[in-house]
Amino acid sequence: MAHDAVLHPPTSTGLDNRKLAIWTFIGSECLFFATLISTYVVYKGQSLNGPYPHEDWTNPATGKVMERVFSIPLVTFGTAVLLFSSFFVVLALNGLQRGKQKQFIGWLSATVVCGLFFIGMQVYEFTHFVTEKGLGFTTNLFGSSFFTLTGFHGTHVSIGVLWLATLLYLGLRGKMGPEKALNLEIAALYWHFVDVVWIVIFPVVYLMK
């Protein structure tokens, strides 16, 4: 339509404004997480007291032995869940683009469930650290840098879950069709980025000593 052509001239790069915007934002977020990761790395081994991530520590004041904090099996499971959620959202997008509503709704629901599960795992992990392992936010540099880094990652996951859940809701109300696929694509890019950040955090924080 002439009205449309005047309103929406084709873009100079041929690429959608919003897709360009989300990638620009993701680039910026790389620096955000780089700073958090740098802080964790710089303070590795610098805590004045335990508990520590990978070894037990005897509190000199009380004589009590405080166990190493990390539970690798739990976090590995959470990592796998997050990885699969990326896989699921790709399938959901695929379904939406091809007009296969059931596939779209099903896989998007699975993604949201995975996201909620990951958050649940983190909440459990954090609570366990504080109540059972004696590692609080201010206990030592390890606690501060760990909770800040993984806490901000978890916040990003939560925002992603909210975003995807909103699109799921719209889908269930019948408002998402192939012409709206870009909306899911953009949310999915954000979701993948959040997964990719965890791909870095998992080995650097949990697996490296």
Partner 1 sequence: MSDMSATHTEGHSHPGWQLYVTIAIILFALTAMEVGAYEIAERGMTGTFGTFVSQMVVEILLVLSAAKFALVAMFYMHLKQDHKLFSGLFVFPLLLAIFVVLVLFGLFFYNRGQNGIWNMPPWS
Partner 2 sequence: MSTAHESTGIKSWLTTVDHKRIGILYGASAFVFFLIGGLEALMIRWQLHAPEQTFLSPDKYNQLFTMHGTTMIFLGIMPLSAMFFNYMIPLQIGARDVAFPRLNAFSYWTFLLGGLLLNASFLFNAAPNAGWFGYANLTSKQYSPGLNTDFWVAGLQILGVASLAAAVNFTVTILNLRASGMKMLRLPVFTWMSLITQILLLLSFPIITVALIMLMYDRFFGTSFFSPGGGGDPLLWQHLFWLFGHPEVYILILPAFGIISEILPVFSRKPLFGYTAMVFSGCFIAFLGFGVWSHHMFAVGMGPVADTVFSLMTMLIAVPTGVKIFNWIGTVWGGSLQMKTPMYFALGFIAMFIIGGLSGVMHSVAPADLQQTDSYFVVAHFHYVMFGGSIFSLVAGGYYWWPKMFGRVLDETLGKVHFWMMLIGFNLTFFPMHFLGLNGMPRRVYTYAAGLGFETDNLIATIGAFTIASSFAVFLWNVIKTSRRPADAPADPWNGATLEWSIPSPPQHFNFAELPTVDSRDAWWAAKRKMGGFAPEPKHYPEDAVHMPNPSWWPLVTASGILIFFIGLILGVVVPVMLLGGAVLLTGIYRWAFEPAFS
Number of residues that bind partner 2 (CB under 8 A): 35
The answer to the question of residue 42 lying near partner 2 (CB under 8 A) is: yes
Which of 152, 180, 133 shows the shortest CA–CA distance to 39?
152
Q: Which of residues 143-172 bind partner 2 (CB under 8 A)?
A: 144-145, 148, 166
Q: Does 87 bind partner 1 (CB under 8 A)?
A: yes
101 near partner 2, judged by CB under 8 A: no
Task: State how far the Cα of 125 lies from the Cα of 164, in Å rounded to an integer.
Answer: 24
Looking at beta carbons only, is 9 or 73 nearer to partner 2? Answer: 9
Rounded to the nearest angstrom, the gap between the alpha carbon of residue 87 and the centroid of all alpha carbons in its chain is 14
Binding partner of residue 140 among partner 1, partner 2, none, CB cut-off 5 to 8 Å per kind: partner 2
Query: Could you tell me the smallest distance in angstroms from the CB atom of residue 138 to partner 1?
Result: 22
Q: Are the CB atoms for 196 and 153 separated by under 8 Å?
A: no
Q: Which of 64, 76, 140, 147 binds partner 1 (CB under 8 A)?
A: 76
| Closest by CA position to 111, among listed 74, 85, 149, 72 | 85
Consecutive H or E run containing 123: helix 101-131
- Rule CB under 8 A: is residue 15 a binding residue for partner 1? yes
